[in-house]
């Protein structure tokens, strides 16, 4: 069974019709995250988290500050100040070849039209670039070519020293919203409802300059592309504002499969009220994907969908996993998958009593005995199901993103300006007991007690 964990915000009681959202009681035997630490350092929405190593992570958001944390203890290690407006992208950066010390570096970009390279071991601002004509919305490092790219109204190629190597002409006022690397020295850029394939040309004996060439435009989407990710060595996938999911061949850029029926009613909905709630136009945007060897997991509106790459169809879904849009999902090594939710930004739905939460879902084959009475639905029903396993309630507003640490649990960031470390209660209790016994043994009290 594959497990999911979801985060977001519930609608206040009395402001909406009764929701088909599944609930779970206090007995959550399969939910390991029973302890939490609340971290306070930011003064605005925290949108980004990035893992630095086995025990550190960095956070950033609308206050323009980057904070480096210890994931084990929750200790604030560094605060990096350099941007004057909100941060729009945050990625890790390879160590500079010229430096003997291989310190952990990160790259941040902001609405102030600057990009800063930071040393996360010292807190030092290594380099800063401020020659942009528009806000950079996305960053990507191509380690094989020793360059990195910034996407805004144009696409720029830079070296490790933050020297501009080449750039495209003005692409769009809306700008590039996402970038991925594909084979043959190419990248895919999402620009509005178009995908643009670019090829990077490295210097040769004949030409000493870098160049970036537009190779092809893919116009299959009918609305703006919100998500773009690599799925495996042969495919990448895109999702749009109107619920179109397209799987592309990574080598020839042709369409391998397309799914556009996420909003159609399914057998899991029993009442007209539930169908109405799940067919709202703003409930079909595809904000994020994750994947494994066989499936693509899609965050579609307020729901979760499992799309099998071999069968080329949805094999499991939960259309109303939340009262608000799922923004971010991730599959964890312990077979949990984590989605985050962006709450509907309506004034009547925002209050101090909102609680950000996660839901944990189990994904597996449908129990045949349990499904036998519903004979009419067996032919069309998905072969797998999503089972609600647990809630994690802690944030007072929408959860924006999260990280997973194998030894230190989950990290979430939210519009409530907070970061929460979710700990495995059983593991933490065991560690505390071990430390106590070690201390007693050091003081000789353990043998005295025996």
Three-state DSSP string of 77-137: EEEEECCCCCEEEEEEECCCCCCCCCCCEEEEEECCCCEEEEECCCCCEEEEECCCCCCCC
Contact 416, 44 (CB under 8 A): no
Confidence of residue 17 (pLDDT cuts 50, 70, 90): very low
Q: pTM for this structure?
A: 0.81
What tokens does 171 get?
């692409």
Question: Which of the listed ranges 3-17, 168-182, 372-386 does the model predict with the highest average pLDDT?
Answer: 168-182
Per-residue pLDDT at 349: 21
pLDDT, tens digit (0-9, with 9 covering 90-100), for 323-340: 788 888 877 665 455 555
51 vs 349, residue with greater confidence: 51
Say whether pLDDT at 15 is over 90: no
- Give the least confident one: 216-225, 289-298, 320-329, 394-403: 320-329
More confident call, 287 vs 438 = 287
Query: What residue segments make up the domains of the chain, in order of their start?
Result: 132-214
Q: Is the pLDDT of residue 275 over 80?
A: no
pLDDT of 252 > 50? The answer is yes
- DSSP secondary-structure letter at 367? P
The pLDDT of residue 429 is 82
Architecture of the domain delimited by 132-214: Beta Barrel (2.40)
What does the angle CA 4 – CA 6 – CA 11 come to, to the nearest 5 degrees? 145
Confidence class for position 439, pLDDT limits 50, 70, 90: confident
Average pLDDT of the residues in 256-280: 56
The confidence score (pLDDT) of residue 58 equals 98
Beta bridge partners of 303: 300
| Predicted confidence (pLDDT) at residue 123 exceeds the cutoff of 60 | yes
Surface-to-core class of residue 87, CB atoms within 10 Å of its CB (0-12 exposed, 13-18 middle, 19+ buried) = buried
């Amino acid at each position: 069974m594959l497990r999911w964990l979801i985060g977001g915000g519930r609608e206040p009681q009395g402001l909406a019709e009764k929701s088909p959202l599944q609930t779970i009681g206090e007995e959550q035997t399969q939910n390991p995250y029973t302890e939490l630490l609340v971290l306070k350092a930011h003064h605005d929405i925290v949108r980004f988290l990035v893992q630095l190593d086995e025990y550190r992570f960095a956070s950033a958001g609308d206050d323009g500050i980057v904070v480096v944390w210890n994931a084990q203890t929750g200790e604030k290690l560094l605060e990096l100040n350099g941007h004057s407006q909100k941060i729009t992208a945050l990625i890790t950066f390879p160590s500079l070849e010229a430096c003997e010390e291989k310190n952990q570096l990160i790259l941040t970009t902001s609405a102030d039209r600057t990009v800063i390279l930071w040393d996360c071991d010292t807190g030092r601002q290594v380099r800063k670039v401020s020659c942009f004509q528009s806000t950079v919305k996305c960053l990507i490092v191509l380690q094989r070519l020793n360059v990195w790219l910034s996407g805004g109204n144009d696409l720029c190629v830079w070296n490790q020293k933050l020297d501009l190597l080449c750039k495209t002409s003005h692409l769009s006022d809306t700008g590039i919203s996402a970038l991925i690397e594909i084979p043959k020295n190419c990248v895919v850029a999402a620009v509005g409802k178009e995908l643009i394939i670019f090829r990077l040309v490295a210097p040769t004996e004949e030409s000493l300059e870098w160049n970036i060439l537009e190779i092809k435009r893919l116009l299959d989407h009918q609305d703006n592309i919100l998500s773009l990710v690599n799925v495996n060595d042969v495919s990448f996938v895109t999702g749009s504002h109107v619920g179109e999911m397209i799987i592309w061949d990574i080598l020839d850029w042709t369409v391998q499969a397309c799914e556009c029926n996420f909003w159609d009613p399914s057998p899991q909905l029993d009442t007209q009220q539930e169908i109405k709630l799940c067919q709202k136009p703003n409930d079909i945007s595809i904000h994020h994907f994750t994947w494994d060897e066989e499936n693509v997991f899609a965050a579609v509106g307020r729901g979760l969908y499992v799309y099998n790459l071999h069968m080329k169809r949805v094999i499991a879904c939960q259309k109303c996993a939340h009262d608000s849009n799922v923004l971010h999902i991730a599959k964890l090594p312990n077979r949990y998958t984590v989605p985050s939710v962006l709450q509907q930004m309506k004034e009547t739905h925002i209050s101090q009593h909102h609680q950000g939460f996660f839901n944990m879902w189990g994904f597996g084959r449908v129990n045949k005995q349990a499904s036998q009475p519903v004979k009419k639905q067996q032919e069309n029903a998905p072969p797998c199901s999503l089972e609600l396993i647990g809630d994690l309630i802690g944030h007072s507003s929408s959860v924006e993103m999260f990280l997973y640490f194998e030894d230190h649990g989950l990290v979430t960031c939210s519009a409530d300006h907070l970061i929460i470390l979710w700990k495995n209660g059983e593991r933490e209790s065991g560690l505390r007991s071990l430390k106590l016994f070690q201390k007693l043994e050091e003081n000789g009290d353990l043998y005295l007690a025996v």
